[in-house]
Each structure stands twice: as structure tokens, then as C-alpha cells.
Amino acid sequence: MIRKAGRTGRRPGRRLNQGRAPVALLLPSLLGLAFMVLPVIGLLVRTPWRQFTADLADTDTWTALRLSLECATAATGVSLVLGVPMAWLLARTELPGRGVARAMVAVPLVLPPVVGGMSLLLVFGRTGLLGSYLDRWFGITLPFTTAGVIMAESFVALPFLVISVEAALHGLDPAIEEAAATSGAGRLQIFRWITLPNLLPAIAAGAVLAWARALGEFGATITFAGDFPGTTQTMPLAVYLAFQDDPQSAIVLSVVLLAVSITLLAILRDRLFTRV
């Protein structure tokens, strides 16, 4: 059913695409594409393939990669749990201070990640505003732990999810929700059975963006969570450190990270977006 709708929906677009693209649009888009692809090509050209297998056998590489994937996935989970309700609240209610809240959601986007990490340290650090109580009352310290990495990554990833879900909510025809309401459904019921299923593509798209952002996180992580192999040293940190000492192995690590993330994104894209 959905598949059919998708196909008919795509047809007029395809007709429009026939014919030649105007140079004024073609040129900048090709330039933009080259700008994005060239660094990747540069990386591949300079990859020491002979060293590749030796570095792949290094368990530290896999430790860092696994930690990266786990933390990015956990941060995406956190973003989903907190972000979807937040997006609904921003789009569907008249709560006071929504404008301010919406602006605050964008803060991690404009804030340099290092500043984000520093601020997290000042709030959740051992002597931080809340962190000192966490430490005193529960004996919990977040810096230098994997939980700290997930926090830092969630901080930078959350806006991507909220913004894409909120945009989709605005695009969703409220008539369906209103129809459900006149049939006597409660707000939570409507959200669960009407809004959420319609939002799934947007939630998936937001989650992929959040995951990708979390996977590449560096500044907030190294500032807030420090750098220790196995607990807080994610791939971006491992690449940075390797680059100081042994640029060749930094390139290998980068290619591994690139390959894994592109593969995963391609799989997710196929699964999630072909039906949109």
C-alpha cells in the first residue's frame, strides 16, 4: 500500500527530471560534489595498503571502532527517547516559552564542540554544578567514563533529530489527527497510533543524521570524557592521536571508519528511505 503510493508519488518527479539540466545548476552542483569527494579520494590515494592489514590486525583499532559504534548508537537512542517527545511538544502545543526552547535546541549546532564539552564538564564534572552532587550523593562521576562519551555525543546529536522530526510534524496534515480526536481518541493515543507511524520516515532520517554526527564527534568527547583506550577513546580520538605520531596508521584508521560508516549508512538508507 505504502509502496504503491510512493511509486505514484515519484512519477511526476521523474518526468520533470527528463531533459538537460541547466548549466547554471549543473556547474555548482558538480563543483560541490567534487569538493566533498576529493578529500575522500585523497585519503584513499595516500592509504598505505601494505600497512593496512597489519593495522587491521591491531586490536586497538577494533576496540576504538566498537566503542565508536556502541556510543554513537547509544547516543542515537538517547536522542530518540528525548528528542521525539520534545519535537512533538514544540510542534503541537502552545506551551509558553516554546520559541526560547526551539532556539535552545539549536545551541549545540552553533556551539563549537569543544565549548560544548567544556560546558558539560562545568555542569556534570566532579566539581560541576550538578556533578558535585552526583559524586557526593551517589558516587557517580561522569567524566572519563563511557557514559560521558555518550552524553557528549547525545549533546551534539540531539538537535539533528529534534529539528528533522519537528519539521515533519509541521508538514503533517493535522486533519488526520483531528479526525482521530473527534472519534474520541486521547492525545497520547493519537500520538501513538496516528502521529508516530506517519512520522517514522522523518524519525529514521533524523536518527541517521544524529548517529552520523555522534560517530564523528571529537571536540566535546575529548574535552568532557578524556581519552583512554577502551573506555573513552573513540575512532576520531584514535585518528587524532595516531596522526601526531604515525600519520600512516591515522590514514588506515580513517579509511576503516569511512568504510564502516558508509556501509552502514547505505544499508540504512536502503532499508529506511526506499519507501519514502
Partner 1 sequence: MSSLTRRRARLLRPAAAVAAVALAGTALAGCSSSSPTDAAASSSASGSGQALSGTITVFAAASLQKTFTALSATFEKEHPGTTVKFSFGGSDTLAAQITQGAPADVFAAASQKTMQTVVTAGDSTGTPTVFVKNTLEIAVAPGNPKGIKTLADLTKSGLKVAECASTVPCGSAAVKALAAANVKLTPVTYETDVTSALTKVELGEVDAALVYHSDIVGADGKVDGVVFSTASAAVNSYPIDVLKGSTNSTLAQAFVAFILSDSSEQVLLKAGFQAP
Which residue intervals of 58-182 are DSSP H helices?
59-92, 98-105, 107-110, 113-124, 131-133, 146-171, 174-182
C-alpha closest to that of 215 among 181, 244, 258: 258
Concatenated DSSP letters of 33-76: HHHHHHHHHHHHHT--HHHHHHHHH-HHHHHHHHHHHHHHHHHH
Q: Does 245 bind partner 1 (CB under 8 A)?
A: yes
Q: Does 247 bind partner 1 (CB under 8 A)?
A: yes
Q: Does 222 bind partner 1 (CB under 8 A)?
A: yes
Write out the binding residues for partner 1, residues 139-198 only, by CB under 8 A.
Answer: 141, 143-144
Q: How far is the CB of 247 from partner 1 (least distance, A)?
A: 7
Which residue stretch of 82-90, 137-145, 172-180, 257-265 sits at the interface with partner 1 (rule: CB under 8 A)?
A: 137-145
In the complex with partner 1, which residue's Cβ is closer, 52 or 243?
Answer: 243
Query: Under DSSP, is residue 234 helix (H, G, I), strand (E, B) or coil?
Result: coil
Q: How far is the CB of 67 from partner 1 (least distance, A)?
A: 14
In the complex with partner 1, which residue's Cβ is closer, 121 or 156?
Answer: 121
Angle between helices 59-92 and 146-171 (to 10 degrees): 40
- Taking the C-alpha atoms of residue 239 and residue 252, their distance in angstroms, rounded to an integer, is 9
**Residue choice 62, 193, 228, 273 for contact with partner 1 (CB under 8 A):** 228
In the complex with partner 1, which residue's Cβ is closer, 76 or 223?
Answer: 223
Q: Does 52 bind partner 1 (CB under 8 A)?
A: no
Residue 133 corresponds to which amino acid?
Y
Q: How far is the CB of 266 from partner 1 (least distance, A)?
A: 32
CA 144 to chain centre: 22
Q: Does 241 bind partner 1 (CB under 8 A)?
A: yes
**Residue choice 80, 89, 126, 167 for contact with partner 1 (CB under 8 A):** 126
- Taking the C-alpha atoms of residue 166 and residue 90, their distance in angstroms, rounded to an integer, is 7
Q: Are 105 and 86 in contact (CB under 8 A)?
A: yes
Residues that bind partner 1 (CB under 8 A): 121, 125-127, 141, 143-144, 222, 226-229, 232-233, 240-241, 243-245, 247
